[in-house]
Amino acid sequence: MLRSSIIGAAGFGGVEPAFLGDRGVTSGGWTADGPTFLDVIDYVSIPTTGNSTDFGDLTIGRSWAAGLAGGGRGVSLSGRINNTPTRTNVIDYITISTTGNATDFGDLLAASEVGAGSSDGVRGLYAGGLDASAYRNEIQYITIATTGNATDFGDTVSVTANLTGISSETRALFSGGVDTNSGFVNVIQYVTIATTGNATDFGDLTVSRAWTGGFSDGSRGCWAGGGTDYIKNNVNTIDYVTIDTTGNATDFGDILIAQRELSGAANDTRGIISGGAASNVIQYVTIATTGNATDFGDLTVTRAESAGFSGD
């Protein structure tokens, strides 16, 4: 896909940003039986409604991975491969317009889980996370069109896991999560994707929480649902921000039920929110408006903590 300025995003009268598309993809995740760590990749057509279709398999079954996309390529990064827990540094990719199994891309700097993915369509970022011994504050990057290992980008504002990424063609935003010192946080932070360097404070979510589903249309970014603690207190809140400004998030509406461990994807018009703990539900909103989510269809399998992205 062609890159464009934010002014030129399809929903605003021009070409859709290269990290968006009409095919929404959900990869990996876990189910409660065991639990089972999934290699399943599903897809839907975002402009329509209906149940998802099998796409293929990841190179390794895993949950708590991060997802990002650009130029028609979708990338899944890191994750947990069993309940021991064992983490992985694997990065793999698919061509979104086709179907088939994922291919190895390269490796992150270290094995981890529950980091956040984001992209401007050319460069993909992986922020924060949790390794075998500690929460992390690294931001790493890859060039999506090539293959190879990740490179250091900078640091998040604090040592944080379970945060969620969204983006414009200029900025990546990372929200919420669990801070190693402060617990569950409402912090939104940002970086300029084309450069390298440390993250800067953007504003606050309306509720401190982790494990949200995030998506954007290239201009407005949303975070849906999430958990406010470790004992399954969840919210149904959807927040939004205008990505290329700074400031606190505003209430958008509600998802169908209070839920955590969601994934998100979008085209230039709709955002879809998939799965969650003990759920196979896909729901959607129209990003340029505000309001509550509507049922879209079902995933092929109940799953939580999957990676979401979109493309053409």
The pLDDT tens digits of the residues spanning 283-292 come to 999 999 999 9
Residue (of 268, 54, 65, 302) closest to 169 by Cα position: 268
DSSP state of 63: B
Output the CA angle 226-230-234, nearest 5 degrees.
Answer: 30
Alpha-carbon gap, residue 179 to 166, rounded angstroms: 19
User: Phi first, then psi: what are they for 12, rounded to 5°?
Assistant: -125, 20
Q: Which residue has the higher pLDDT, 192 or 132?
A: 192
For residue 70, tell me if it sits in a domain. yes
* 10-24, 159-173, 245-259, 296-310: least confidently modelled range: 10-24
Range(s) of the domain holding residue 284? 6-311
Residue 138: the pLDDT is 97
Number of domains within the chain = 1
Side chain identity at 236, as an amino acid letter?
Answer: N
Output the CA angle 76-242-72, nearest 5 degrees.
Answer: 30
For residue 1, tell me if it sits in a domain. no
What's the average model confidence in pLDDT over 202-222? Answer: 98
User: Residues 38-49: pLDDT tens digits?
Assistant: 999 999 999 999
pTM higher than 0.75, yes or no? Answer: yes
Q: How far is CA 194 from CA 84, 132, 170, 197, 224, in A?
A: 37, 30, 7, 10, 27
And the tokens for 135? 């929460």
User: Residues 55-103: pLDDT tens digits?
Assistant: 999 999 999 999 999 999 999 999 999 999 999 999 999 999 999 999 9
* pLDDT over threshold 70, residue 240: yes
For residue 204, tell me if it sits in a domain. yes
For residue 193, tell me if it sits in a domain. yes
User: Residues 266-276: pLDDT tens digits?
Assistant: 999 999 999 99
Q: Would you give the end-to-end CA distance of the chain in angstroms?
A: 8
Domain containing residue 192: CATH number: 2.120.10.80
